[in-house]
Amino acid sequence: MNKKLLLLSLTVAACTLQASAIGTSGRAGRAADDIITPPYTLNLKSETERARYTIIDANGDGNTWVGYSFAFRCYTQGELPADDWLVSPGIALTQGSTYTITFKGHNRQSDKPEVYTLLAGSKPEAAALTDTVAPTVTFTAVETEEYTTTYRAPSTGVYYFGFHCTSPAASASAYLEAWSISAPAGKASPDSVTALQVAAGARGQMSATIAFTTPVKNADGSALTQIATATVTNLTTGNTVATLTAPQAGTPLSVTDQAPVNGNNKYRVVCASAAGEGIPAEASAYVGIDTPLPVGRGNWTQQGMKAVLTWPAVSTTGVHGGYVNPDEVTYKIAMMSPEPQVIATGVKGTTYTDATLATLQGQTFLYYAVYPVSKAGTGGGSPTFSGTFGTPFATPATESFAGAQLTHSPWYVVDYAGDENSSWDIVAQSTSPAMQPQDSDGGMAVMHTADDGDHMLTSPMFALGSAVSQLKFYVNNYAFDNRLRVFISDDRGHSWTQLHEVGMTGKAWEERTVDLADYAGKTVNIGFRGEVLAYNNPIMLDNISIATTQSGITATTTAPQLRLDGRTLTAPAQQHRLTVYSTSGHTVATVAPGQPVDVTLAPGIYLVRTGAVTTKLAVR
């Protein structure tokens, strides 16, 4: 559920790029049909090199890969799941040799993960790319994510590497920012270390422990007889953490980096023998103080003309899985409505008092966002409760939307379902169907929708007197599958209680009365929650009023030929819909116009409404 203030939409036009399977290599002196010999690193800035990549729009939806100087981008916002290939030029590999492959990417929207796999094959064709190099990879962040894997060539020959995008339908875009393949590790050189793990120093300490087990085999699977060195390098800083001399094969080892950066640190461990360096292994960890995670939904309460904010304590785990010290976190407080602005920084603790609304006249719609801040950065903002702030309006009061304007403000909309084409509006008249305001004053409220929607038009605060009050309004709800429910809140919208429900009314204004006896002396908001299930079937409201009565029951007349036989209410068919209410305003029973009345009631006091006639009824 959210409270609608502003909706933005952005449509990105899809485009496609067709490229040949083999073009110019992008390397000086190479012929157009030359094959690449590793090591190879993609040079995105070379348009000639980008043109060597084959693009396959396998699902034929027109949304596929396109090359830019900063990334290859796969458009995935189509109605079909992505099935699109970006295939490399031919790369010469040697049987039994192991190659390290690294690639980087990200997505366009963090709430829409992008998915692809990396496969290899003998031709730049989807059907030939069958050897899995990297299983399903999911990019979940708009920041760059890096993956490293190895590939052992099953035979000597030319291989093509295909990045196969398979993101769900209606995603956004997947990006490949870089990829590279290393020179082959010697067949008789050591295999990669195993059980590689990086553990950051506890509680944000600036250190990292790198643990691993030395290999027992060579790259070609033969027994490893001797290791000359095992070297640990921090790839982030470029520093060699340690070079261990002549470690035993199959031995667990660990070293500590005392000079990592505050942030993500990537480490490489590689063993060497007389045959040369073996296959490297890589792992990462976030070291030091992390950027805080959002704290979660906060709250505010009105005290005098000040808003007192509270919010949950920050987590000790940060955005990247690192440590956050709650004692060192401060908070930035931003008012989001009525006036977007930062109102405080450097706030300690989990509460803040905002005095900026001290001179407010009337009421406003109010909410904030709270941002946690550590030395590593500012975390995402968390919204607070949103509702009305200020001085309640006295009753009796009437809102007729005269001139398509508000007499009492603010009215706001709570969205439960539906898109930007579905909401409540204040209009001068309705055009479909053609309908003038009930009181002919040039204004009424209309809930419209292009398909379906569920939205609540919510009033400002009204202070009810100690005498019993009642809510009156006029409604036109002519579609049988629409419904309008009336709610009340005495805690500014934290919770709502249903008072009344309106079904189909016919294409005419009908007056409804709802008893507010249970809320005497309280400050309340009224909510009109409309549910529209089809196009162009609006719900219309007008001339809403809160007035006091002495008895809590409208002065009554007798509905035509209405009879009570024991506990059964009977009458001939009425011209208007007949509705039976409890004294608290809840609908007990309804009888459609033109239908005979035959309703059995439990003992109690009821109000029976038909047309403009209300009857008080006692059932014993």
Tens-digit pLDDT profile for residues 82-137: 999 999 999 999 998 899 999 999 999 888 999 999 999 999 999 999 999 999 89
**Residue 71 pLDDT more than 60?**
yes
CA dihedral 180, 183, 188, 189 (to 10 degrees): -70
- Distance CA(532)–CA(420), nearest Å, equals 14
173 neighbors 77 (Cβ within 8 angstroms): yes
The single residue listed with the structure tokens 């459609």 is: 592
- Structure confidence at residue 535 as a pLDDT band (50, 70, 90): low
Burial class (CB in 10 A: 0-12, 13-18, 19+), 1: exposed
Q: Residue range 250-255: average pLDDT?
A: 98
**DSSP code of residue 310:** E
- Distance CA(383)–CA(381), nearest Å, equals 7
- Distance CA(452)–CA(482), nearest Å, equals 10
Among 327, 217, 236, which residue's Cα sits nearest to residue 283? 236
- Looking at residue 536, its pLDDT comes to 62
**Residue 507 pLDDT more than 80?**
no
**Residue 189 pLDDT more than 50?**
yes
Among 314, 303, 307, which residue's Cα sits nearest to residue 338? 307
Would you state the structure tokens that stand for residue 249, as one six-digit string?
A: 């094969």
Q: Residue range 554-563: average pLDDT?
A: 60
In angstroms, how far is the first alpha carbon of the chain from the final one?
43
Coil vs helix vs strand at 18: coil
531 neighbors 483 (Cβ within 8 angstroms): yes
Between 619 and 332, where is the model more confident? Answer: 332
Which residues, at least 6 apart from 537, have a Cβ–Cβ distance to it below 8 Å? 449, 478, 479, 481, 482
Q: What is the DSSP string of 341-363?
A: EEEEEEE-SSEEEE-TTTT--SE
Question: If you average pLDDT over every residue of the chain, what do you get?
Answer: 88
Would you state the structure tokens that stand for residue 423, as one six-digit string?
A: 């909401």
- Looking at residue 33, its pLDDT comes to 53
Q: Which CA distances in Å does 518 have to 174, 529, 581, 603?
A: 56, 21, 15, 20
**Residue 279 pLDDT more than 50?**
yes
- Looking at residue 23, its pLDDT comes to 29
Among 417, 385, 401, 590, which residue's Cα sits nearest to residue 495? 385
- Looking at residue 32, its pLDDT comes to 39
**Residue 548 pLDDT more than 50?**
yes
- Distance CA(53)–CA(268), nearest Å, equals 30
Q: Residue range 232-246: average pLDDT?
A: 97
Winning range, highest mean pLDDT, from 6-15, 298-307, 548-557:
298-307
- Distance CA(412)–CA(601), nearest Å, equals 38
Coil vs helix vs strand at 203: helix
Q: Residue range 190-210: average pLDDT?
A: 96
pLDDT digits (tens, 9 = 90+) for 565-587: 888 998 888 887 888 888 766 77
Among 266, 267, 264, 268, which residue's Cα sits nearest to residue 287? 264
pLDDT digits (tens, 9 = 90+) for 290-331: 999 999 999 999 999 999 999 999 999 999 999 999 999 999
The single residue listed with the structure tokens 């079904």 is: 503
**DSSP code of residue 350:** S
